[in-house]
Chain A
Amino acid sequence: MADSSPNILLSVENLKMHFPIRKGFGRKIVGHVRAVDDVSFSVCCGETLGLVGESGCGKTTIGRCILRAYDPTQGAIHYQNGRGQSVDLAQLQGKDLISYRRELRMIFQDPYSSLNPRMTVMDIVAEPLRIHRIAEGREIEDRVAETLRKVGLRPEYMRRYPHAFSGGQRQRIGIARALVLDPRLVVCDEPVSALDVSVQAQILNLLQDLQSEFNLTYLFISHDLSVVEYLANQVAVMYVGLLVEVASTDELFQSPKHPYTEALLSAVPKTVPRRNPQRIILKGDVADPANPPSGCYFHPRCPYAIDRCQTEAPALREIGPGRKVACHLAEQLKLHGVETS
């Protein structure tokens, strides 16, 4: 499933995003937060790449760099456009960039702040159509109605304002806004983590249905491993701005190769009563991306760390087909995954 398939839609190379830290009267730059530091990965057409990690690890920043909400500090974002040409999204400016905003869309985490409360559902969903001058007059309304139907909302409600809807319905509106332009790649930034548990499943099912119906490619950003396991074909694990492991979902969950992935999997509370024999409890806190430790960023918390980890930063290297790990000990360690029930 995850072997180097020829239809790579998006490939990110050595992406860096450093935010300056300014201090004092002259707003002098006194350092950088390395939110994303040299990250490379690729997403195949029609598949879902899950990007997991804890808060502050840079996963949201990657999503926003790809959509060019941020201007990346360095690196290339190669995107295979609808006409089969490859473009570097990181280099695009102005008009060229705007035309790609049709093909790459985003679904936000917070269904409340991401919808303008002063616009009707119709205006919110139609906004991209109007900006890109894709439809006019009556046609706009038809397209909005059609999109709303796709996401499971009644088109009669399009004159209503967002305050008339519940969290789950609002998230559907957000999905409709992303889909109305017939995109090819959708960045889903924690699309269900603000929703009630009983509604999450509805939205996850919807995302899956839409993917198969419209051949969408998802970059699915989440901190919730069970959601990622459900939706993703491939998973990339991030720690303090770096990728530490990339693998197909099955492989990653069954036999992780990076100690951080193992700890992450073991930390997820299982819905099996009191059966948690060897949960790994990490020491200390996540490293500060403005001031990361030497060597491997994970070494101060790693139960398997050796001297080499303190001095030498491991590179993300291929250890099998479609399988990359950034750990010196990847081959030696026997790590535990999640038992499949």
Chain B
Amino acid sequence: MNTSPLLEISGLKTHFFLDEGTVKAVEGADLMVQHGTTVGIVGESGCGKSVTAYSILQLVESPGKIVAGKILWQRPEATGGDLLDLAALKPNSREIHAIRGGEIAMIFQEPLTSLSPIHTIGDQIVEAIRLHRPVSQEEARRQAVQMLQRVGIPRPEERLDNYPFQLSGGMRQRAMIAMALSCHPSLLIADEPTTALDVTTQAQILELMSELQNDFGMSILLITHNLGVVAEMCDQVVVMYLGQVVEQADTVTLFNDPKHPYTQALMRSIPKIGQRRRGRLDPIKGMVPDPYNRPHGCCFHPRCDKFVPGLCDQQEPPLRKLKSGGMVRCVLYGE
């Protein structure tokens, strides 16, 4: 297989220019997605994980804007196989339209808001297929049935004529996945795909995504706040805090030996199933600072228990490569 990464984001900065001030939603995101792997982005609300994903597809809406950075996308052989900087494309350009849905597809937390309520599931999938491929209406419909069947929707011919509201939450998410995969993208961006679902349905959807990944050989960029989902699904994990990537490692290393104090604290603070009552939980002190008022220096320093006065609050540490292959943004891991 190709050894160059499928997607490489470096130094991405996406800012929102509001009346109240500039929100630096993404302020330094670096990550890499290799062919056929699953990369997870974890972080709390407001850490910029979704904005990073939206930036990849140029879906950031005004007053938001990509102000710096590169998003290098390795186009598949069928469309030329060249390396394209998505950050440099205009949000309405022909290239990005061809890539959106065709080469990179996206699924969202709540399918109801991203599926059109006035068109049937079938119409929407058929439209998605015909937008990217020169096939007839009948052929597209046949493919749509196939896709619905593939994602485990029973009686797909009937379901094709249903409207989104007629399906249950899990079925809607399946339909959404079917639509996203209908053009065989090489990257699937999943933004909190199971957050709105119950645990048993979540298990179904996660299982389905792993299966489909094996079948289609695509890469997945999974955005979630749930460390459990990351542990089960991902090969690589990127941890974000306040718009910055603070740590990146392969999943096993990250869970067994987290490096950044934020990752460590996050792992300690969440209640884990099967860890019956070991006294009190160990929460992270304070709260996520507001995005208008980023702390000076390392943005985690006010909450960090390894805070070094005079160092952490003065200079923003760079993202450093570790011997283990991961990266971390913390002064504790200097050369």
Contact = CB atoms under 8 A, between A and B. Distances in A.
Direct contact of A and B (CB under 8 A): yes
Interface stretch (B8-16, B53-61, B268-276): B268-276
B45 A196 contact: yes
Interface in B195-242: 198-204, 206-207, 225-229, 231-232
Given A197-B269, A201-B269, A205-B281, A54 B274 contact: no
Contact of A273 (B252, B275, B276, B284): B252
A4 interface: no
Contacts of B204: 281-282
B38 to A, nearest CB: 11
A184 B273 CA distance: 28
Task: Count chain B CB atoms within 10 A of each CB in A55, A201, A272 and give the residue with the most.
Answer: A201
A87 interface: no
A271 B200 contact: no
Interface residues of B, number: 45
B261 interface: no
A253 B276 contact: yes
Interface residues of A, number: 47
Nearest to B303: A198
B200 A54 contact: yes
Given A54-B198, A267-B199, A272-B231, A201 B255 contact: no
Interface stretch (A36-44, A123-131, A221-229): A221-229
Contacts, number: 143
A249 interface: yes
B269 A340 contact: no
A253 B273 CA distance: 9
A341 B272 contact: yes
Nearest to A340: B274
B62 interface: no
Interface string A267-287: 111111110100111100110
Contact of B200 (A201, A227, A253, A263): A263
B312 interface: no
23 contacts: A54-B199, A166-B288, A198-B283, A200-B283, A202-B283, A204-B281, A205-B280, A225-B199, A253-B273, A253-B274, A264-B199, A266-B203, A269-B202, A270-B232, A270-B272, A270-B274, A273-B231, A273-B232, A281-B203, A285-B168, A285-B171, A286-B198, A341-B272
A74 to B, nearest CB: 27
Interface in B50-95: none
B251 interface: yes
A198 B226 contact: no
A250 interface: yes
B277 A271 contact: no
Contacts of A269: 202-203, 206, 226, 228-229, 231-232
A272 B255 contact: yes
A245 to B, nearest CB: 15
Contacts of B203: 266-267, 269, 279-282
A175 to B, nearest CB: 15
Contacts of A266: 203
Interface string B149-171: 00000000000000000001011
